[in-house]
Amino acid sequence: MEFIQIGKITGTHGLSGNVTIFHHLGKLPGLKNLKHIFIELKRESYIPFFTEQVKIDNEQELYVKLEEVDTMESAKSLSGKQVFLSTEQYEKLNPKEADINFIGFEVWDREAGKLGKVEELLETPGQLLATISVNGKEVIAPLNDQTIISVDIPTKQLKLQLPEGLLDVYLKD
């Protein structure tokens, strides 16, 4: 089964074990009907959690009551964990015209060669940014018409031409 990251648990909500999920899916009415999500408890170990209730707070936050997470303490233990959907769930939620989710894509720079994988997407006004793990360091790179050279969806390859000096800022000792 393939998984697509949709966000991260950022904290608790209330006293009965609800978690707050910060996500990048926008206003999708189908989010209210999620029957389960996958939480990455260990690296690349996706554990299914069934939902009792999903409330949409805004375009980026959900309040979710998970089965068997009944206290604030148990909800707190999930804080900071990445949240995923199966590819099948994601495709049902997202219309076909939705943007590509680059999380997990291998990133190559025209000058520097292979960099690493996209770990997270950050949406800022007018700009999509990718957090890339490069030699154990975090690099934040813009994803736009000027930086994207090519995208190969089947092989999950993303070829970029990063602005001159950007890698130096993050990778110098």
In this structure, are residues 144 and 93 in contact, taking their beta carbons and an 8 Å threshold?
Answer: no
In this structure, are residues 13 and 92 in contact, taking their beta carbons and an 8 Å threshold?
Answer: no
The CA-atom distances, in angstroms, between 167 and each of 9, 115, 120, 121, 172 are: 29, 10, 17, 18, 8
CA distance 9 to 79: 5
Q: Three-state SS for 57?
A: coil
The 10s digit of each residue's pLDDT in 10-64 is 999 988 899 999 987 777 777 888 999 999 998 878 999 999 999 988 878 999 9
Enumerate domains of the chain plus CATH numbers.
3-93 (2.40.30.60), 106-171 (2.30.30.240)
Mean pLDDT within 153-161: 84
CA distance 94 to 30: 9
Look up residue 42 and give its two tokens: 């260990």
Q: Please give the full DSSP string across 119-161, using - where no structure is assigned.
A: EEEEEETTEEEEEEEETTEEEEEEESTTTEEEEETTTTEEEE-
pTM above 0.75, yes or no: no
The CA-atom distances, in angstroms, between 40 and each of 10, 28, 44, 96 are: 14, 23, 6, 26
The 10s digit of each residue's pLDDT in 56-95 is 888 789 999 999 999 999 999 999 999 988 878 887 776 4
